Amino acid sequence: MPAIDWAGMTPYASAVVLEIADDTVGPLVGRMVSYLAAPRARGVTAREVVAAGQLTTVEMTYVNGIGSIVEEGFEEIAAMVRRAETGGEDLTVALRRGPLVAVHCADPAMRDQLLAWVDQTPSLGLRRVSPRLLEACLCPAVPAPRMWTRSSVESFEGYLFRLSERMDLIAQRMAYELMPS
């Protein structure tokens, strides 16, 4: 199977954000992408995976066509590209940073499949970040960047930068809400 062309990716900026509830579960994003790559009987049509790849912190020191992406603070990045029903290609990318995992699924059925898997599999050590908390991070007092819109970003490196900023904001808000009043 061909490797992911990390420098050539331009994902849409929408993402599902999950909280890591149990740090002892080990690497997550590779398992997520593998799960989504496997054929499922529940309404998601099996489609050919045309490229897949995973980056660990060590591998992020030099990414072909980009250079170092270590400064963005991600611990794991995994991605796969599959043939879309419309004839193009769909990208799924999962990124772990601190207490959060952000997942972009171009196919809404795959996103729903992922969320059902998270909800039904407590051993994953993941839970959804509450919509209320996400909305609080994107309220009018906080400028909503292009990160959360359906427009595409200029580069994968730009996507990582904007996503790391948003994930920091969400993690800070989660920590703030846990502080006693």
Domain that holds residue 153: 11-178
Considering the chain, what percentage of its residues have pLDDT values greater than 90? Answer: 1
| pLDDT single digits (tens) 139-160 | 544 444 444 444 444 677 777 7
Q: Is residue 76 part of a domain?
A: yes
State how far the Cα of 147 lies from the Cα of 161, in Å rounded to an integer.
9
Q: Is residue 145 part of a domain?
A: yes
Q: Is residue 163 part of a domain?
A: yes
Nearest to 152 by CA among 141, 142, 162, 143: 162
pLDDT at 144: 42
Q: Which residue has the higher pLDDT, 80 or 10?
A: 80
pLDDT at 155: 74
> How many domains does one find in the chain?
1
Q: Is residue 149 part of a domain?
A: yes
Contact indicator for 137, 143 with CB cutoff of 8 Å? no
Q: Is residue 1 part of a domain?
A: no
Q: Is residue 6 part of a domain?
A: no
